[in-house]
């Protein structure tokens, strides 16, 4: 009974991550006529796949640099500084996370030509900057102020800042790695930019294109080549993740620390405001303003923008997109719940017994969602196991939730395992001496200290699931989501009601996590 | 019901650290302290007794039951013991009352409150540990350990996180409650005073091995090793080197090797074993400070890399160079391998 | 069975879409905004529990076709509503379609009905030239033929989507058969020589023209119509209408029953309803401005989108196009790049 939740979570990982991924790997060497290395051999000749891979890497590096600059600076000037308004600008660092990258792309594309490589890198960098901002802020809050003061005393203010930078390097690196992984995995934004006349492509796009055209004039080797190209890449990202986890494990124990002293910005006090305002303007304000303008009628030329136009847009949006919005909401809620339920036993096992479980849980983060989606479809669309249950699990909400949970499990599992590690082992051992059934210990002793982290993880997963596009376009069961409809709609110039749906989606992403937080009297900062 | 403890040839492996083999027994109602410096294996031993660490070999017997024989292990919750952890290890989400009620299923609220009252925590019954002082937290830890009525109480350095002015109160509470229940107690600590206040018998550990054991008074009066003398009595232990034949060379001169003494001997200087002497008559030391008191004046003197306590009629200023001399015949003891069984 | 296992199975069942008890499933390649309200109305009218699966725009029809081929052994789709024809014919050639002679299809002109009743076409889009009227205010200067793409007069000022998917793939494949291999090869070379802007989709070509970045481009009538409705300065030219010209290509929607798909009884009724004349009228009146294939059905309000019979239509071999679609896609994939 005590091991049942862990076994269930491991079974889930095996079923929804390892099995599909293994199937995908096997498929690259299992041709229609038996075992073959043709697909691997063809990779060298598939210039498209290699060019796309190179473009993805360049895009990842460029976008991550933007994320580092925007997110890192935001955290640097808002945590422990005398920045005017820093007290509320700092916690707002997490807010742009609710804005899906495709919305950021819509916002940028509306005000400037966004067809080239650099605009794409810029907007993806903006979209993923919250990862850096949130983790850097967490790092800064975790630094022992006394150690910083010691460095300040001995080496002066400037050297102390360098010391601080080194102290939060693991968190900065982790944030950059997340931004990098999300940029590489993003298929939606580069695909959206094709409507703007983009002339270069990423490997996630290549995967999607080949997958969609798998039955239309492609050979086995051609069909497999983007997957073949992706696999070593995914393995490389896995190694990066492993390195990041090791780095984090070697970090100091930051259980009880004195906060950083309030550091004066001096004559930069007011100019420094530019960092958070740019970060928030690019990450939230611009997309929201553009979406609002769309709703008001900015994307058409028949009549001027007006509230009456917005009303029409709203009615169209409700008419067209309400079921999708609700589907998105239930899907995100289901995913958040399932992910937390799975992550709790996994995190405990990883933190207390099997540190390698952390890597296993983190594996889906290295996979482009498109690849994960393809693997899931391949593994389950005709699964006799699922068929034996009578209903069509594959086509239902449950399968979509499982797919999403597989994708977002790393965020919850890593958050929770870090939290478990912070809990004193002795308190748990004290529980072992008590003659109570294991479930009573789990519920009364182990769970309560993890609840704040579980809530944070649930919120992050909820928001990420709500904004997920890549998996939504591949998994049939997740097709009817608001973000996918929006991505389709902008192809057809339905910006008016798309703007309203997007704003409603943002409102859900903000309000649903915020309401319980406010009701429970928790501050926004707790989410970051 | 109290529980006797019998440990026979116990070995515990924890990474590269190896504890044991250890053999000792605590009779029902007995009070044993396991003492030793950090890294000596005290806490590992306690955790093994509690069931958190498996024994590699040997046997732990609690009362009539075999708790661990290297193959089968009784789970912690079935050993009938209570454990007071070093830093409380309390459950932050529970109030004091909830701690007791969770720890002892079926414990009536009145009984729980009575126990809290005994510990002076009645007013804190509905408070969580986060709001408590170190002393209060440890009292609650004690109440939690006692609530289910264990036959054996294990104490892991219970005074470590407690302020000096709260220690006596906690010691008295521990003694009173343990005595009332005639509890067998096993304490681990590196603090001599804590050990002597709470235990009648001692086991001295060093690097996973038992150095010596026995009644506390015996060990205090006749330590068999220099290590025990240093640890329990604050003795300075000066290394000696063997010269030709059976002579031992020390800073105080050359002396005959005691008959039957092992190879690794130390010159053990208990407080007061050294006096100030005229210059040139003995080794030179430097005054660190004078301790309170007038006759004789007790001085802490740096001698080589040790600090010895010398007695004098007057206190030279701190930093002054002085000459030391032995007051009585030198006491040579093996470093940590006792010569007697 | 242990209670926890039972609970897991119960949950699994609860999360499943029960195929046995629900009605038919339709896969729809037509833009969701146009097709969904129509299908919702049909489902209500027929009192069936209809599940709809709409294509991702980025997949350009082929996503659903690939899915249907993949699901060959376990069909999940009852009815396939394709927004073009060639891929439906491919599915017929692959043996995935169930013949059904719908009574609603009796008045659909013969070329748009499969003699074996495996598919029926209706409501077409035309492959037209979209022209920016601010850049080209004089109608006399407008392009008039596919051949204008390779006319040096328009060098670098016109565009077309890459023929990798969607209607452009069907268009180019049909054009290959209509022009003949040699002439078509010259045409392809000419595209590159004339610096024609090759874009990812018809939507992208329309935007380039709408925003004045290109003077004109090939696109579909629905893309043109939405731009026009939104007030952009664009006009529509039905190409190749001159004497001896190859004519404008019509690419109709098509509907077919999937062999072995769920709830075939209701699926047939749904096909009947989709093929009704009113559906063509509805689609003509919608933002997509589809052109009815049947005479007498009310066409789009925009007079620039001409009714069938009022223009020279390109005669293309549907079977040949479908049979050669894969080969051409493969070939052009390499030539045009991603």
d(CA B146, CA B129): 17
pLDDT digits over C99-126, tens only?
999 999 999 998 899 999 999 999 999 9
Chain A residues in contact with C227 (beta carbon < 8 A): 493
Using an 8 Å CB-CB cutoff, list chain B residues near A435. Answer: 77-78, 105, 148
A424/B87 touch (CB, cutoff 8 Å), yes or no: yes
In this complex, the residue of A302, A320, A477 whose CB is nearest that of residue C33 is A320
Q: Which of A151-165, B60-74, C112-126, C172-186 has the lowest mean pLDDT?
A: A151-165
Between A210 and B273, the more confident residue is B273
CATH number for the domain running over C21-124+251-305: 3.40.190.10
Measure Cα distances from C93 to C69, C108, C124, C166 in Å: 12, 21, 22, 19
CB A98 within 8 A of CB A36: no
Q: Which of A315, A379, A491, A499 to mutate to test the interface with C (most CBs of C within 10 A)?
A: A491
Cβ burial B158-167 (10 Å sphere, 16+ → b, else e): bbeebeeebb
CA atoms of B323 and B298, how far apart (whole Å)? 15
Taking only the tens place, the pLDDT of each residue in B142-182 is 999 999 999 999 999 888 877 777 888 888 888 888 888 89
Q: Mean pLDDT over residues B216-225, rounded?
A: 90
Is A392's CB within 8 Å of C16's CB? yes
The distance from CA A161 to its chain's CA centroid, rounded to whole angstroms, is 30
A13 or A31: which carries more pLDDT confidence? A13
Residue A216 DSSP symbol: S
The 3-state DSSP class for residue B16 equals coil
Using the structure block, give the residue that is written with the tokens 């699990």: A393
Peptide bond into B269 cis (omega under 30): no
pLDDT digits (tens, 9 = 90+) for B262-295: 777 889 998 888 888 888 888 999 999 988 777 7
Q: Do chains A and B touch (3 or more CB pairs under 8 A)?
A: yes
Q: What is the pLDDT of residue C252?
A: 96
Kindly give the interhelix angle for A101-111 and A495-519, rounded to the nearest 10 degrees. 130
State the Cα–Cα distance between residues A104 and A288, nearest whole angstrom: 9
Lowest mean pLDDT among A393-397, B249-253, C265-269: A393-397
B246 and B211 share a domain? no
- What pLDDT does A492 receive? 66
* Mean predicted confidence (pLDDT) in A170-196: 85
Please check whether residue B154 touches A, CB under 8 A. Answer: no
DSSP 8-state symbol, A82 = -
CA–CA min distance A142, chain B (Å): 20
Q: What is the pLDDT of residues A423-458, one digit of tens each?
A: 888 888 899 888 888 889 888 998 998 988 898 899
Query: Is B50 within 8 Å of chain A by CB?
Result: yes
* Cβ C152 vs Cβ C159: under 8 Å: no
- Write down the pLDDT at residue A39: 79
- B212 and B261 together in one domain: no
Rounded to a whole number of angstroms, the distance from the CA of C248 to the nearest CA of chain A is 23
C5 at A interface, C-beta within 8 A: no
In chain B, alpha helices (H): 42-50, 96-103, 109-118, 134-146, 164-180, 192-198, 216-221, 226-233
The DSSP symbol for C150 reads G
Instruction: With CB atoms and an 8 Å threshold, state whether B83 touches A430.
Output: yes
Which residues of chain B neighbour A434 with C-beta distances below 8 Å? 77, 102-105, 148
Confidence of residue A391 (pLDDT cuts 50, 70, 90): low
- The answer to whether B81 contacts chain A (CB < 8 Å) is yes
Same fold, C21-124+251-305 and C125-249+325-336: yes
Q: Domain limits of chain C?
A: 21-124+251-305, 125-249+325-336
The mean pLDDT of B219-223, rounded to a whole number, is: 89
What distance in Å separates the CA atoms of residue B219 and residue B225, rounded to the nearest whole number?
9
Q: Which of B162, B192, B225 is the last residue before a domain boundary?
A: B225
Q: Which chains touch C (3 or more CB pairs under 8 A)?
A: A
**Would you state the pLDDT for residue A190?**
86
Using CA of residue A9, residue A15, residue A16, residue A17, what is the dihedral sign?
Answer: positive
With an 8 Å Cβ cutoff, is C32 touching chain A?
yes
Residue A8 neighbours by CB under 8 Å, 6+ apart: A342, A345, C8
The answer to whether residue A324 neighbours chain C at the CB level (below 8 Å) is no
Asked whether residue C158 carries a pLDDT value surpassing 90, the answer given is yes
Helix (H, G, I), strand (E, B) or coil at B212: strand
Higher pLDDT, A150 or B339: A150
Considering only CB atoms, which chain A residues are within 8 Å of C14?
398
% of chain C surpassing 90 pLDDT: 70
Buried b (16+ CB within 10 A) or exposed e, C98-121: bebebebbeebeeebbbeebbbbb
With tokens 């009303």, the residue in question is: A311
pLDDT digit string, tens, across residues A312-365: 989 988 888 888 999 999 999 999 999 999 999 999 998 888 888 888 888 888
Alpha-carbon distance A347 to nearest alpha carbon in chain B (angstroms): 19
Q: What's the total number of domains in chain B?
A: 2
CB contact under 8 A, C15 and A191: no
8 Å CB contact between B66 and B59:
yes
Cβ(A366)–Cβ(A181) below 8 Å: yes
pLDDT over 70 (residue A250) = no
A2 touches chain C (CB under 8 A): no
- Number of Cβ within 10 Å of residue C46's Cβ equals 15
Sole residue written with tokens 């290109």: C214
Partner-chain contact B90 A449, CB within 8 Å: no
Question: What dihedral do alpha carbons A170, A175, A176, A179 form, nearest 10°?
Answer: 160
Instruction: Tell me: do B239 and B309 sit in the same domain.
Output: yes
Same domain assignment for residues B137 and B219: yes
Residues from chain A that touch B161, judged by Cβ atoms under 8 A, are none
Q: Is the pLDDT higher at A259 or at C233?
A: C233
B82 with A433: Cβ contact below 8 A: yes
Q: Which of C58, C133, C158 best tests the A interface by mutation, with the highest count of A CBs <10 A?
A: C58
Whether A258 has a pLDDT exceeding 70, the answer reads yes
Q: Does A385 touch chain C (CB under 8 A)?
A: no
Residues of A in Cβ contact (< 8 Å) with C71: 381-382
Q: Which whole number is the average pLDDT over A74-90?
A: 89
Question: Residue A242: what pLDDT?
Answer: 76
What's the pLDDT score for residue C109? 92
Residue A171 at interface with chain C, using a CB cutoff of 8 Å:
no
User: C322: which 2 tokens?
Assistant: 């479908």
- Mean pLDDT for chain A overall: 84
**CB-CB contact of A454 with A416 (8 Å):** yes
What residues make up the domain containing B213? 5-225
Per-residue pLDDT tens over the stretch B308-324: 988 888 888 888 899 99
Q: Beta strand B152-156 with B184-189: parallel, antiparallel or unpaired?
A: parallel
d(CA C117, CA A405): 44
Least confident of A154-168, A329-343, B30-44: A154-168
Query: How far is the first Cα of chain A from the last one, in angstroms, to the nearest whole number?
Result: 34
Contact call for residues C120 and C88 (beta carbons, < 8 A): no
**Is it the case that residue A215 has pLDDT exceeding 70?**
no
**Mean pLDDT score, C230-238:** 93
Kindly state whether residues B324 and B186 are assigned to the same domain.
no
User: Residue C2: is its pLDDT beyond 80?
Assistant: no
Taking an 8 Å cut-off on Cβ atoms, the answer to whether A429 and B91 are in contact is no
> pLDDT at position A528, please?
44
Of C20, C213, C338, the CB nearest to A201: C338
Locate tokens 């599940």: which residue?
C51
Question: Touching B: which chains, 3+ CB pairs < 8 A?
Answer: A
CB C32 within 8 A of CB C51: no
Residue A520, both tokens: 């429970």
Q: Which of A66-80, A376-390, B197-211 shows the lowest per-residue confidence on average (mean pLDDT)?
A: A376-390
A110-119, B121-130, B331-340, C38-47: the lowest-pLDDT one = B331-340
How does residue C16 score in pLDDT terms, banded at 50, 70 and 90? low
A487/C58 CB distance under 8 A? yes
Mean pLDDT for the stretch of residues C175-197: 95
Return the bridge partners of B204, or none: B35, B212
Q: Does residue A248 carry a pLDDT above 90?
A: no
Count the neighbouring beta carbons within 10 Å of the beta carbon of residue C44: 10
Q: Measured between CA atoms, how close is C323 to chain A, in angstroms? A: 10
Query: Is the Cβ pair C66, A4 closer than 8 Å?
Result: no
Residue B178's domain is classified under what CATH number? 3.40.50.300
Predicted confidence (pLDDT) per residue in B238-268, tens digit? 888 876 667 888 888 888 888 777 777 889 9
**Residue where a domain terminates, one of B225, B258, B278:** B225
pLDDT value of residue C20? 45
> Cβ(A67)–Cβ(A131) under 8 Å?
yes
CB contacts of A391 in chain C (<8 Å) are 13, 16-20
C332 touches A: beta carbon within 8 Å:
no
Contact across the interface for C16 and A391, Cβ inside 8 Å = yes
Phi, psi dihedrals of residue C15, rounded to the nearest 5°: -85, 0
Amino acid A515: pLDDT: 77
Task: Identify the bridge partners of residue C49 per DSSP, sorted by sequence position.
Answer: none
Pairwise CB contact (< 8 Å): A485 & C32: yes
Q: What percent of chain A has pLDDT over 70?
A: 90
Nearest to A429 among B52, B92, B93 (CB): B52
Residues of chain A positioned with their CB less than 8 A from the CB of B77: 432-436
Q: Where are the alpha helices (DSSP H) in B63-212?
A: 96-103, 109-118, 134-146, 164-180, 192-198
User: What is the structure's pLDDT at A108?
Assistant: 86
Contact between chains at A217 and C326 (C-beta distance less than 8 A): yes
Q: Give the mean model confidence (pLDDT) for residues C196-225.
A: 91
Question: Architecture of domain A4-10+37-307+332-527 in CATH?
Answer: Orthogonal Bundle (1.10)
Token pair for B16:
């590269």
Q: Are C293 and C280 in contact (CB under 8 A)?
A: yes
What's the rounded Cα separation, in Å, for the pair B41 and B208?
A: 5
- Options 3.30.530.20, 3.40.50.970, 3.90.1150.10, 3.40.190.10; CATH for C125-249+325-336 is 3.40.190.10
Asked whether C60 and C201 are in contact (CB, 8 A), the reply is yes
Looking at residue C11, what is its pLDDT?
A: 53
**What number of other Cβ atoms are within 10 A of residue C321's Cβ?**
25
The pLDDT, as a whole number, for residue A256 is 53
CA distance A460 to C322: 47
Tokens at A103, concatenated: 């919305």
* CB of C320 closer than 8 Å to CB of C252: no
* Ranges of each domain in chain A: 4-10+37-307+332-527
Contacting residues for A394 by C-beta, under 8 A, at least 6 apart = A380, A381, A383, A386, A476, A477
Mean pLDDT of A277-290: 92
Whether C54 and A479 lie within 8 Å, measured CB to CB: yes
Cβ contacts (< 8 Å) between A427 and chain B: which residues?
89-92
Chain position carrying tokens 């924890």: B14
Quick check: A233 contacting C, CB < 8 Å?
no
For the segment A457-478, the average pLDDT, to the nearest whole number, is: 89
List the single residue in A4, A398, A488 with the smallest CB-CB distance to C12: A398
Is C70 within 8 Å of A214 when comparing Cβ atoms? Answer: yes
Question: How far is residue C180's CA from residue C190's CA, in Å, rounded to a whole number?
Answer: 15
Beta strands in chain C (DSSP E): 25-28, 51-54, 79-82, 97-98, 120-132, 158-161, 197-199, 216-220, 234-237, 250-258
Mutation test of the interface with chain C: which of A16, A486, A492, A497, choosing the one with the most C Cβ atoms within 10 A? A492
Any long-range contacts for A350-355 (C-beta under 8 Å, 24+ apart)? A350/A413, A350/A417, A350/A420, A351/A417, A351/A418, A351/A420, A351/A421, A352/A420, A352/A425, A355/A249
Hey, what are C253's tokens?
């929607």
Q: Touching check for B30 and chain A: CB below 8 Å? A: no
Question: CB count, 10 Å around CB of A257?
Answer: 16
When CB atoms are compared, the residue of A435, A436, A445 closest to B91 is A445
**Is the minimum CB–CB distance between B102 and chain A shorter than 8 Å?**
yes
Q: Are the beta carbons of A369 and A447 closer than 8 angstroms? A: no
Assess if residue B340 is contained within a domain. Answer: no
Judged against a pLDDT cut of 80, whether residue A220 lies above it is answered with no
Q: Nearest residue of A to residue B93 by CA position?
A: A448
- Minimal Cβ distance to A426: which of B75, B78, B85: B85
Q: What percent of chain C has pLDDT over 70?
A: 92
């Amino acid at each position: 009974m005590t091991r049942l939740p862990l076994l269930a979570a491991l079974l889930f990982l095996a079923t929804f991550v390892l099995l599909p991924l293994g199937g995908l790997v096997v498929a690259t060497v299992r041709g229609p006529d038996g075992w073959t290395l043709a697909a691997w051999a063809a990779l060298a000749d598939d210039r498209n796949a290699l060019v796309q891979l190179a473009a993805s890497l360049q895009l990842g590096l460029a976008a991550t640099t933007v994320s580092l600059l925007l997110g890192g600076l935001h955290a640097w000037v808002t945590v422990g500084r005398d920045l005017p308004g820093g007290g509320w600008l700092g916690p707002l660092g997490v807010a742009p996370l609710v804005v899906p990258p495709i919305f950021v792309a819509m916002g940028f594309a509306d005000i400037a030509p966004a067809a080239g490589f650099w605009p794409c890198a810029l907007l993806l960098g903006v979209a993923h900057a919250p990862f850096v901002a949130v983790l850097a802020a967490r790092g800064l809050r975790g630094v022992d102020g006394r150690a910083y003061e010691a460095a300040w005393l001995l080496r002066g203010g400037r050297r102390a800042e360098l010391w601080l930078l080194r102290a939060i390097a693991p968190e900065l690196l982790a944030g950059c790695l997340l931004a990098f992984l999300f940029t590489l995995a993003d298929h939606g934004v580069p695909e959206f930019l094709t409507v703007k006349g983009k002339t270069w492509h990423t490997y996630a796009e290549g995967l999607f294109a080949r997958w969609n055209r798998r039955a239309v004039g492609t050979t086995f080797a051609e069909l497999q080549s983007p997957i073949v190209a992706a696999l070593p890449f995914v393995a490389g990202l896995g190694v990066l993740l492993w390195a990041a986890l090791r780095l984090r494990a070697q970090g100091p124990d930051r259980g009880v620390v004195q906060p950083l002293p309030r550091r004066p910005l001096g004559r930069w006090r007011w100019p420094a405001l530019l960092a958070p305002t740019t970060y928030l303007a690019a990450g939230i304000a611009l997309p929201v303003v553009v979406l609002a303008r769309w709703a008001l009628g900015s994307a058409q030329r028949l009549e001027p923008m007006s509230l009456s136009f917005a009303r029409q847009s709203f009615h169209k949006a409700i008419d067209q997109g309400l079921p999708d919005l609700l589907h998105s909401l239930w899907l995100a809620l289901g995913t958040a719940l399932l992910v937390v339920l799975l992550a709790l036993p996994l995190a405990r096992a990883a933190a207390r017994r099997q540190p390698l479980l952390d890597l296993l849980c983190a594996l889906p983060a290295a996979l482009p969602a498109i690849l994960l989606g393809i693997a899931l479809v391949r593994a389950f669309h005709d699964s006799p196991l699922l068929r034996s249950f009578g209903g069509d699990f594959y086509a239902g909400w449950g399968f979509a939730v499982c797919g999403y949970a597989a994708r977002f499990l790393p965020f919850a599992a890593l958050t929770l395992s870090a939290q478990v590690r912070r809990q004193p082992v002795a308190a748990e051992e004290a529980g072992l001496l008590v003659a109570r059934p294991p479930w009573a210990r789990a519920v009364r002793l182990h769970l309560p200290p993890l609840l704040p982290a579980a809530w944070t993880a649930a919120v992050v997963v909820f928001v990420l699931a709500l904004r997920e596009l890549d998996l939504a376009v591949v998994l049939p069961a997740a097709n009817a989501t608001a973000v996918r409809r929006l991505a389709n709609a902008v192809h057809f110039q339905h910006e008016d009601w798309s703007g309203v749906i997007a704003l409603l989606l943002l409102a859900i992403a903000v309000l649903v996590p915020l309401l319980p937080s406010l009701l429970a009297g928790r501050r926004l900062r707790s989410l970051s | 019901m109290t529980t006797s403890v019998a440990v026979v040839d116990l070995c515990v492996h924890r990474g590269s650290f190896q504890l044991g083999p250890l053999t000792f027994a605590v009779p029902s109602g007995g009070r044993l302290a396991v003492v030793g410096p950090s890294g000596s294996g005290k806490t590992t031993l306690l955790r093994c007794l509690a069931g958190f660490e498996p024994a590699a070999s040997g046997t732990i017997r609690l009362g009539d039951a075999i708790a661990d024989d290297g193959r089968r292990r009784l789970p912690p919750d079935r050993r009938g013991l209570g454990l007071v952890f070093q830093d409380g290890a309390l459950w932050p989400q529970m109030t004091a009352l909830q701690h007791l009620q969770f720890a002892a299923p079926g414990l009536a609220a009145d009984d729980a409150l009575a126990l809290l009252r005994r510990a002076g925590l009645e007013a804190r019954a509905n408070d969580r540990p986060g709001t408590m002082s170190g002393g209060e937290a440890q009292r609650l830890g004690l109440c939690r350990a006692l609530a289910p009525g264990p036959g054996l109480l294990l104490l892991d350095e219970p005074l470590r996180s407690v302020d000096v002015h709260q220690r006596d109160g906690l010691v008295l509470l521990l003694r009173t409650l343990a005595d009332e229940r005639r509890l067998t107690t096993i304490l681990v600590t590196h603090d001599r005073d804590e050990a002597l206040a709470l235990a009648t018998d001692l086991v001295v550990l060093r690097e996973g091995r038992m150095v010596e054991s026995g009644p506390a008074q015996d060990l205090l009066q006749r330590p068999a090793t220099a290590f025990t003398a240093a640890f329990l009595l604050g003795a300075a232990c000066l290394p000696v080197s063997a010269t030709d034949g059976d002579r031992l060379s020390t800073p105080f001169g050359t002396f005959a090797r005691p008959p039957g003494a092992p190879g690794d001997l130390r010159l053990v200087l208990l407080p007061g074993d050294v006096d100030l002497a005229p210059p040139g008559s003995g080794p030179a030391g430097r005054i660190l400070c004078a301790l309170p008191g007038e006759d004789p004046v007790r001085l802490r003197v740096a001698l080589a890399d040790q600090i010895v306590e010398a007695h004098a009629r007057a206190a030279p200023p701190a930093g002054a160079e002085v000459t030391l001399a032995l007051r009585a015949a030198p006491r040579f003891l093996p470093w940590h391998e006792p010569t007697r069984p | 069975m242990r209670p926890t296992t039972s609970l897991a199975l119960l949950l699994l069942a609860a999360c499943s879409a029960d195929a046995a008890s629900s009605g038919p499933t339709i896969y729809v390649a037509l833009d969701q905004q146009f097709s969904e309200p129509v299908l919702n109305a049909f489902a209500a009218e027929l009192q069936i529990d209809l599940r709809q699966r709409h294509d991702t725009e980025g997949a350009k029809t082929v996503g659903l076709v690939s899915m249907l081929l993949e699901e060959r052994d376990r069909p999940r789709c009852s009815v396939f509503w394709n927004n073009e024809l060639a891929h439906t014919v491919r599915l017929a050639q692959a043996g995935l379609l169930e013949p059904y002679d719908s009574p609603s299809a009796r008045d659909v002109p013969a070329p748009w009905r499969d003699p074996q009743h495996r598919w029926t076409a209706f409501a077409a889009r035309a492959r037209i030239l979209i022209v920016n009227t601010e850049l080209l205010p004089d109608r006399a200067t407008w392009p008039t033929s596919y051949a204008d793409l390779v006319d040096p007069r328009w060098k670098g000022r016109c565009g077309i989507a890459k023929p990798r998917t969607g209607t452009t793939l069907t268009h180019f494949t049909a054009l290959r058969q209509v022009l003949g291999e040699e002439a078509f090869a010259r045409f392809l070379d000419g595209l590159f020589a004339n610096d024609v802007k090759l874009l990812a989709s018809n939507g992208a070509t329309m935007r380039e023209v709408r925003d004045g970045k290109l003077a004109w481009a090939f696109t579909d009538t629905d893309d043109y119509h939405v731009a026009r409705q939104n007030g952009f300065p664009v006009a529509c030219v039905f190409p190749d209408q001159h004497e001896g010209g190859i004519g404008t290509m019509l690419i109709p929607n098509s509907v077919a029953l999937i062999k072995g798909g769920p709830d075939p009884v209701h699926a047939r009724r749904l096909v009947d309803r989709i093929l009704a004349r009113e559906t063509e009228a509805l689609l003509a009146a919608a933002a997509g401005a589809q052109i009815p294939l049947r005479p007498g059905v009310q066409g789009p309000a925009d007079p620039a989108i001409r009714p069938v019979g009022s223009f020279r239509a390109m005669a293309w071999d549907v079977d040949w196009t479908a049979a050669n679609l894969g080969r051409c896609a493969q070939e052009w994939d390499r030539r045009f790049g991603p």
